[in-house]
Amino acid sequence: MMATRETLSRARVLALGLIGCAVLALPARAQTPAEVGQWSGVMSWPVSATHTHLLPTGKVMFSGEFAQGDTPPRLWDPTTQALGTLPFPGYNTFCAGHSFLADGRLLVTGGHVESHVGLEDASLFDPFGSRWTRLPDMTAGRWYPTNVTLANGDVLVISGETVGSGIMNELPQRYLASSGTWRDMTSARLKLPYYPRMFLAPNGRLFLAGPSRTCRFLDTGGTGTWFPGPSSNFGARSYGPAVLLDGKVFLMGGGDPPTASVERIDLNATSPTWSYMAPMSTARRQHNATLLPDGTVLVTGGSYGGGFDNKSTPVLVPELYNPATNSWRRLARNSVYRGYHSTALLLPDGRVLSAGGRNVNNAEIFSPPYLFKGARPTVSALPDVVAPRTTFSIATPDAGRVTKVTLIALGSVTHAFDQNQRLITLGFTRGSGSLTVQAPASNNVAPPGYYQLFLVNDAGVPSIGRMVRITAVP
Ligand SMILES: [Cu+2]
């Protein structure tokens, strides 16, 4: 009896084992768009989208690299796919800095004479009237500078090469929005690398987060004062993006050879320090990081191999970071290597434009998994203009299912860094057919300007983004 029973159970184990092997041997089940998202086909574009901006009109402005920067910027309508041409600013804005002013105009600083030689020119582009306005020149050229918006709507412009390789513009200048002139930050002279990863912190100071390991705070009062900050852990992260999300800065990859490591600092803390977070599944440099309506971060493109812009080691699989769970998820792969001179941009419909590269005159659009998880919440009415420290009402038939309300500043991206995007999660209470929403606590949290407002439901599905202008309050 015993032997028979044992034989039977052995046979069962063997059978189960065979079934197990059969299951393992089956080809992997195709993953659905609800799990991994979906890419569009490749669209041919007239230039490489190396400088890419979401305008307050909901359209996308982009301009190309090198010689293409001598041609007019282009306009793309994400709804109709129509491509158009915008007025030429009068000089080559390739390698400029850029950010949006409180009134929705784009401030473009510096530009391209030749590699490592920058222009001192600055201009405003008005997306509503589609025209350029020249500003007074800066004191010297800037090739690869960063714009950082301050709480009152002024903009600090920092770094960039002037007349040759390694010859940096060490004088930060503050664009005074009220007068359209510059204030030289003469007590804040500092040599910094290309396109400093810099953010307005909740304490009102600017925080220099990278790409060097040494971090600093800048008080922008008067002519400026630097303060030491906590150094990040990994080291230099050249061509790695940094994003600002509810007062926390995340550094994602970068460096040469590239790293998969991710670090976070919470600038809301009294004595903030950097901590390693879950790494990406793949090392990357020359990639982009895009803030999404549900508070996750989409990383696209880049190269996993060493070297400046290694096309032979493309990363085609995007990854989605969820800060709430500190975890990453690999998504559907795209077709084209997006490295140096590529950009990525959140569109109002929740999709992400991924475009450009070195002599890559085309674009793809990624639909994240959240677009395949059921009906989208809708917004029936909301104010166009919101002041910090107030409450406001949003009419929505989906109030009962809303779990998150976010504001995302319009993207303005180049060279693996978006100088304008930031995400703010807003507090709210549910009513019947409406939400009562708390505006950002201050202009340090949300500097004045245009943001997309999104409602997100209990299935993680975002509404269409609605443009809201945050005003400056004293
Ligand atoms: Cu470049």
Residue % of the chain over a pLDDT of 70: 94
Regarding predicted confidence, which is higher, 24 or 385?
385
Q: Find the mean pLDDT for residues 145-159.
A: 98
Task: Judge whether 180 and 101 are in contact, CB under 8 Å.
Answer: no
Q: Where in the chain is the domain with CATH 2.130.10.80?
A: 36-371
265-274 per-position pLDDT tens digit? 999 999 999 9
Q: Quick one: average pLDDT of 413-432? A: 98
Ligand 1 centre and the CA of 112: distance in Å? Answer: 10
Q: Taking 60 as the threshold, does the pLDDT of residue 179 lie above it? A: yes
Distance separating alpha carbons of residues 294 and 361, to the nearest angstrom: 30
Q: pLDDT tens-digit profile of 187-242?
A: 999 999 999 999 999 999 999 999 999 999 999 999 999 999 999 999 999 999 99
pLDDT tens across 124-135, in order? 999 999 999 999
> Does 10 score more than 60 pLDDT?
no
Residue 321 pLDDT more than 70? Answer: yes
Residue 4 has pLDDT above 80, yes or no: no
How close is the Cα of 415 to the center of ligand 1, in Å?
Answer: 6
In this structure, are strands 466-470 and 385-386 parallel, antiparallel, or unpaired? parallel
Confidence band, pLDDT 50/70/90 cuts, at residue 27: low
Compute the distance from residue 218 Cα to the ligand 1 centre, in Å. Answer: 26
Whole-number pLDDT of residue 88: 97
Rg (CA), the chain: 24
Residue 21 has pLDDT above 50, yes or no: no
CATH topology of domain 375-470: Immunoglobulin-like (2.60.40)
Q: How far is the CA of 394 from the centre of ligand 1 (A)?
A: 42
CATH 2.60.40.10 in the chain: give the residue spans.
375-470
Q: Is the pLDDT at 16 greater than 50, yes or no? A: no
**Pair 12, 5: CB distance under 8 Å:** no
Rounded to whole angstroms, the Cα distance separating 74 from 87 reads 9
Instruction: Give the pLDDT of residue 20.
Output: 45
What's the average model confidence in pLDDT over 428-446? 98
Name the class of domain 36-371.
mainly beta
Give yes or no for residue 384 having a pLDDT over 50. Answer: yes
Reported pTM = 0.94
The whole-chain average pLDDT of the chain stands at 95
Quote the percentage of the chain above a pLDDT of 90: 93
Confidence check: pLDDT of 2 > 50: no
- Give the mean model confidence (pLDDT) for residues 394-407: 98
CA 20 / ligand 1 centre spacing (Å)? 52
Nearest to 112 by CA among 171, 59, 63: 63
Report how far ligand 1's centroid is from the alpha carbon of 95 (Å).
6
What is the phi/psi pair of residue 346, to 5°? -70, 130
Position 19 pLDDT exceeds 80:
no
Whether the per-residue pLDDT at 326 is higher than 80: the answer is yes
Distance CA 320, CA 270 (A): 29
Instruction: With cut-offs at 50, 70 and 90, classify the pLDDT of residue 26.
Output: low
Centre of ligand 1 from the C-alpha of residue 256, in Å: 16
pLDDT of 443 reads 98
Of 470, 455, 292, the C-alpha closest to 381 is: 455
